[in-house]
Amino acid sequence: MGDDNGSNPWARRRRFPLVAALFFAILIAGPFPFSPGIADTSRGTAFEGEGRHAGQVAWQGEVVAVLDGDSLKVRHGSETIEIRVYGIDAPEKGQPWGDKARSLAQSLAAGRRVTVHPRVTDTYGRLVAGVTLTDGSDWAGTMLSRGLAWQHLRYSRERELGLLEVEARSQRLGLWSDPLPTPPWVWKHRRHD
């Protein structure tokens, strides 16, 4: 009965995770302006990237392989380019939730045309890029909203991505159904120790 006025301590405890998640979203958004979204980053103009992909505009290609939840190979003309999806870090092969993340990514993109929005070249020589799916949705946003990736805060501060992760966390979707899911960067570090 005390639920309605907030005096019930159990009701307050149930609200805490949602409040904490919203606080986290605001915190990560920080002073960064509201981004136009990964799918629109190139706006049809050359991007100010680094490495061999500098100066490229968005292009389309066919997905020939989905390596995991955040990596794929796309055929562009006669070249096959390995792409690391910008903004997210998905569970790795062999890691809990890794197979589910890869399976979702395959169902979204395998054998389909995508639009690639080049950003930079990573230390492994892969193109880091936003990827727009055939239906116009964003690969990173879809993985986050289904609870099968973390926003990669080291490289991405887009508010939309942070909010999608917070929403998936609050609904306990995908990997967020585990009490303490292990992020890929921690999982990889533990495997090397």
Splitting the chain (193 residues) into consecutive groups of 10 residues, what average pLDDT does each group show?
53 54 48 34 37 72 97 97 96 94 96 96 92 96 97 86 96 95 88 74
The tokens of 104 are what? 């979702």
Q: Is the pTM of this model over 0.85?
A: no
Q: By C-alpha distance, which of 25, 23, 44, 47 is closest to 34?
A: 25
- 126 assigned to active site: yes
84 belongs to the catalytic site = yes
Residue with tokens 């990964």: 38
**For the purposes of burial, counting CB atoms within 10 Å of the CB of 152, is it exposed (0-12), middle (13-18) or buried (19 or more)?**
buried
How far, in Å, are 25, 130, 159 from residue 184 at the CA level? Answer: 20, 19, 21
* pLDDT of res. 46: 35
Q: Which of 84, 102, 119, 157 is catalytic?
A: 84
Query: What is the chain's percent helix, strand, coil content, to nearest 5?
Result: 35, 20, 40
The three-class DSSP label of residue 61 is strand
In 3D space, the residue among 83, 75, 61, 181 whose CA is nearest the CA of residue 128 turns out to be 83
Write down the CATH number for the domain with range 9-192.
Answer: 2.40.50.90
CB 164 within 8 A of CB 176: no
Query: Which of the residues 102, 126, 146, 157 is marked catalytic?
Result: 126
Among candidate residues 92, 160, 165, 167, the one labeled active-site is: 92
How far is residue 129's CA from residue 155's CA, in Å, rounded to a whole number? Answer: 12
Per-residue pLDDT at 62: 98
